[in-house]
Structure 1
Amino acid sequence: MGGLGLFMLGSIFCAVAGNLPLLLFGRVVQGLGACAASVLSRAIARDLFEGEELARTLALTMIAMAAAPGFSPLIGSALDSLFGWRSTFFGVAAFSATLALHYWTSAGETHPLDCRTPIGPFAIASAYGRLAVDLRFLFPALSVSLVIGGLYALFATTPSILMDGLGFTALQLGIFFASTVFVVFSAGFLAPRLARRWGQRAIGLIGLIIALAGGYVLFACAAAPALTPFTTGVVLYLLGMGLINPLGTALALNPFGAHAGLASALLGFLQMGCAAVSVSFASILPLPSSASVAAVLTMASALALLAFLPVTIRGTKLHAA
C-alpha cells in the first residue's frame, strides 16, 4: 500500500511539474513506489503457491508485466494526442489508486507473522548475504536477470532501429510493440503447461536456447536491417524470454518460502542491474543500433544459458556455496 501510494503521489507530481528537473524528481518518486509492487507481486505469489502452481501464477504475473511496456507506447501516444502529455501521468495515478483500493479490499496480508524477519540492518544484510551465495537461488536468478536485461536493451534500441532506420512513425512503433506482447502472452500460457509435462528445468533450458537463436538472427541481419528478419529475431527472443522468465523465477523463489520478500527483492535488483548494464553497453558500443542490440542480446542469452546449465544438470542438488 505504501508503494502504490508513493507511485500515485509521484505520478501526480509529474503531471503538475513545471520544468524538467521537477519532472525527473517525480519520475524518481514513481520508480521508488513501483519497486514495491514489482517485488511484492512475486513475493505474494510465493506466499500463496509453490511448485507448478507457483510457475503458473508467475507466468500470469509475467504476462501482466509484459503488457505494460508493450501497450503503454500506444496508449500513451493516444492520450498525448487527445489530452496532452500530462494526461498520461494523471491516468497512471488514477490506475494506481484503483489498484490500491482493490488490493486493500480484496487481497489482504499473505505473509504470516511467524515467517517475518527482523527489520534491523544487520539482520537484513545477513539474510541477503546468505541468499546471494545460495546456488539454488543464484543460478536461476542470474539466468532470468540476464535475459530481462537484454529485453530492456531491446526496448531502448528498437525505436532508433525502426524509426530512424526503417522509417516507422510513432504510431507504427506503438503498434509494433503492442503486437509483440502477444508473443509473450503465448509463451506465458505455454510455459507452465509445457513444464507440467517435461519439467521446469528442461523447458527453461529450451527457452534460453530459443532466446539465443533470436540474438543470432538479429546479429545475422545487423549489417542491413530489414523488417522481416528483425521481427523474426525479436519474436524468437521474446518467446524464449517468455518461457524462462516464469520458470526460472519459480525455481529461484521456490526453496525460500520463509524469505519470499527478500528473494524477490534480490531478484528484482539483479534484473534491474542487468538491465542497466545491457542498456549501457547497447548505448556505448561503437556500432549501429541494430548491431549493438544484437551483440548484447546474443551475449546476454549465452551467459544466461551458461548460468542455467548447472540448474539443469544438478537440479535440486544445488546448495549454498
Structure 2
Amino acid sequence: MSQNTFTPAFDFIAAGKQVLAIERAGLAQLGQYINDDFRYACEALFRCAGKVVLMGMGKSGHIGRKVAATFASTGTPAFFVHPGEASHGDLGMVSPQDIVIALSNSGESHEVLTLIPVLKRLRIPLICMTGQLNSTMGKTAEIHLCVNVPEEACPFGLAPTTSTTAALVMGDALAVALLRARGFSAEDFALSHPGGVLGRKLLLRVSDIMHTGHDVPLIAPTASLREALLEITQKNLGMTVICDAKNIIKGIFTDGDLRRIFDMGIDLNRTIISDVMTPGGVRILPDTLAVEALNLMQAYNITSLMVAQSDFLIGVIHMHDMLRAGVI
C-alpha cells in the first residue's frame, strides 16, 4: 500500500490535465464507430415493443445503470439487471419483447457470456458494447457496438477510465439519437422528472397555484380607498382587484399605488377606489405555464397578476406562490 504522503513538488494539476488529454483522445476516435452498426442498433431499439435491458459487471455495470437511466428519462423505457443476479432468477424480468444491451470492455465477461445461450433460446435480441471487435460477446451479438480506445487514463492501464467514458458516451449517443427520432419534447422530459426544477417549470400551470374564491382581494368600483386598504391588508397579497357585480375587471390597486398617492392629501374615507385605481391591469390565462407568469411579472416589474378569461376574473397569482411552488 502506498504511503499517504507526497512530495511538495508533485504536480496534481498536470496529472489531472493528462487524464483529460488521454480521455479526449479516446473520444476523438470514437466517431468511427458511429457507423451502420450504430444505425442498426438505433433502429432495433426504436422498434422495440418491450423495454431495453442493460447488463454489465463491475465498472461496466455502473455505466449500464447510468445508460439505462438516460434511456428511461428520454423516452426509451429501460432498466438495469445485474448479470450475476440474472443467473439466479432475475432473468425472469426480461421478456421476449425486450432487447438486451450488454456492456463489457473485454467482451469476455463470464457472467454475461453465461446468459447468452439463454437469451438466444428465448430469442431476445442482444446488442453488445465492447472494446474488442473479435471478442466472444462481439461475435455472438446480433449487433456489436465497438467502443475501443487507444489507452486507459490509468498509468498502469488497469483501472477502467477512458474505456468507461467511451461506453458512457456511446450510450448517450444512442439515447439522444432515439430521443430525436421519437420527437421527444421538453414537456415529455418533464413528465419523467415531476419532482425536479425542470419538471415544475414545464408542468406547473397558473391554475395549479393561483388564489381563488374568498382568497382573492376584491372590491367594487364604488368602494372607498379605506375599504381597499382593509382588503389589501386582510388578503395579504399587496393588491386588490376592482370588479363589477359580474366579476368583470375594471382595474387594480396595489400597495405601490398607495405609496404614490400618500403625498396627494387624499381623504381615505371619501376617495372612491375607481378614481385612483389603475384601469385594466396585467392579466394571464389560467392554463398558462407558471414560469411564463413569472416571466411576465419580471417584464412588468410587478409581484402579482390577475388570472382571467378576457375581462372575467378567475383568480390572482403572486410571486410568493412561485417561490412556494419551487418555480423560482
TM bin (shorter chain): under 0.3
Normalization by structure 1: what TM-score? 0.19
Q: Which protein is richer in helix relative to its size?
A: 1
Q: For CA contacts below 8 A with separation 6 or more, give which structure has more relative contact order.
A: 1
Q: Which one has a bigger Cα radius of gyration?
A: 2
Q: Which protein is richer in strand relative to its size?
A: 2
